[in-house]
Amino acid sequence: MEARRVHRQVRAADNGRSLLTPQRLSAVEAPTLFIRGEHGHTPAAVEAAVSAVPHARLPTVPEAKQWPQYERPDLVNASLIDFLSKEDRA
């Protein structure tokens, strides 16, 4: 299956970090949503990725760390619904 092959390639590529170069990210044409926790460990990496992707949005989930979707699902879901509803109208 194609998805499994791609998954293996991503895992083999230094946990995918080498795939997320500024050059590759700048080629993303679709509206993109990044979500981070307020107390996460990678704010600089997330900000760099967001700055490289045109039309990217970055909501920060208060009181969350690395897994905001588990720690504050209410806020993550609200961010997703907001993002998708705005893109649906675009």
Indicate the CATH number for domain 2-89.
3.40.50.1820
Q: Percentages helix, strand, coil for the chain, rounded to the nearest 5?
A: 60, 10, 30
Phi, psi of 36 (to 5 degrees): -130, 155
Higher-pLDDT residue of 49, 45:
49
d(CA 61, CA 71) in angstroms, rounded, equals 9
Around 23, how many Cα atoms within 13 Å sit in the side-chain half-sphere?
2
**What is the per-residue pLDDT for 7?**
63
**What is the per-residue pLDDT for 6?**
65
Predicted structure pTM score: 0.71
